[in-house]
Structure 1
Amino acid sequence: MKNFRRIEIRPAVPDDLMTIASVLVRTWRATFRGIISDAFLDAMTVEDQAMRHAQRMRLPGSFIMVAADMTDDRVIGFANCGKARGMPPAFDRELYELYLLPEFHGAGLGSALVRSVAGHCRDTGGSSLFAWVLKGNPNRVFYERLGARAVGEGRVSVGRESLDQVAYRWDDLAALSDFGDASI
């Protein structure tokens, strides 16, 4: 069993970009195999994802939080957020991504990352937070355990595929940032 006492939740820094990208690629391949085409998943590269996150890190209002294993000095998960994209104005902040290496699921780190993001959104004037989650994502119940409610459905293009997704919303950022352990 992994010793989780040496995990730190902190804002990302540019030196984290390659490990953030590695977490994303590894997590997508583990979670979405059978949901997203193997060709798309196998073509993903850490370098492409690092460039994408470097661009996101420079966007005004964008924020990336990481879970870092201080024992191994590596990022094991991350969450990022910013201004809502493409939703009604009442949705002012969006959780763009939340990924945690599979071997760290169930330790409360996913909920710690979401709570940290919610606190940041609240502290920067946000009133609500939402996330698009693939309908076929086996970890969808995690958002519900954290108090999110499904408020809409849509479609997203991933490679050449169009996939169903569900919008989950939290209305009370103060309550979410103080939420108890709801691990993935």
Structure 2
Amino acid sequence: MDEHRPFAIRPGTGDDLFMIAGVLVDTWRSTFRGLLADDFLDGMSREEQAMRHARRMGAPGVGYLVAVEPSTEEIIGFANFGPGRGTAPDTIHEIYALYVRAEHQGFGIGTALVCSAARHCVEQGAKSLFAWVLASNPNRQFYERLGATAVETTSIWLDDRHYEQVAYLWEDIAPLLKR
């Protein structure tokens, strides 16, 4: 971090969905260009992502936090989290999505979002937390720096192509709560 950039974190609402979708689409394009198929990245739309997140936002136990640039109220990052999908026990929660615009990375925003999400998950009874991350993601070490361990790999289909993904687990959320 070479400078301080102010930001605030607040709960995400339905009014934020289009900006959340914009962060997701723009971040995928800036992070995965050259790693994922261009036609897939170019085909992503804010409208489709906003609808997808609108459905998710209404699900039981699901939370959204947004990082906001205070002077403009622009959403510069977000975290989406809740009960673990699949066969995860009730005490293991999941970060479904974590994105920070490229120009705002490296200033503690992602860390603040993860730690804030962990606090919300603990309030819902979580003891552990995990996130699926594309294996090709050049920012995977972010999770490791926060104490998560790679525990599982699987593949995911994106636009008729297989991509490997890695599950990062915080077996104990407590250290995240102290950050």
TM-score calculated relative to the size of structure 1: 0.92
Tell me how far 1:102 sits from its aligned partner: 0.2
Contact 1:91–1:130 (CA<8 Å) still a contact in 2? no
Identity among equivalent pairs (%): 50
Q: Over residues 109-162 of structure 1, what are the superposed CA-to-partner deviations in whole Å (9 max), with x where a residue is unaligned?
A: 000000000000011111110001111100000000000001111111111111
SS of the residue aligned with 1:4?
coil
Instruction: Give 1:54's aligned residue.
Output: 54
d(CA) in 1 for partners of 2:81, 2:119: 11
Structure 2 residue 76 is matched with structure 1 residue 89: no
C-alpha contact (below 8 Å) 1:130/1:169 kept by paired residues: yes
Q: 2:91 & 2:60 partners in 1: Cα distance?
A: 17
TM-score scaled by length of structure 2: 0.94
Number of matched residues? 178
- Structure 1: gaps (5+ residues): 180-184
1:111 and 2:146 are equivalent in the alignment: no
Change in Cα spacing, 1:17 to 1:106, as seen in structure 2 (3 Å) is same
User: 1:37 & 1:46 partners in 2: Cα distance?
Assistant: 18
Unaligned runs of 5+ in 2: none
2:74 corresponds in structure 1 to 74
**1:28 and 1:173, CA in 2 relative to 1: closer, same or farther beyond 3 A?**
same
C-alpha distance in 2 between matches for 1:40 and 1:67? 27
* Residues 155 and 87 (structure 1), Cα distance of their counterparts in 2 relative to 1, 3 Å cut: farther
Distance (Å, rounded) in 1 between the aligned partners of 2:87 and 2:13: 29
Offset of 1:90 from its aligned partner? 7.5
Shift of 1:96: 0.5
Cα deviation, residue 89, structure 1: 3.1
Instruction: Show the counterpart of 1:182.
Output: none
Stretches (4+) displaced over 6 A: none
CA contact under 8 A between 1:21 and 1:50: conserved in structure 2? yes
**1: CA distance, partners of 2:35 / 2:143:** 19
- Distance across 1 between alignment mates of 2:117 and 2:100: 15
Instruction: Determine the C-alpha separation between the residues in 2 that align with 1:41 and 1:178.
Output: 37
CA distance in 1, matches of 2:87, 2:140: 20
In the alignment, is residue 125 of structure 1 matched against residue 136 of structure 2?
Answer: no
Distance 2:35 2:88 in 1: 28
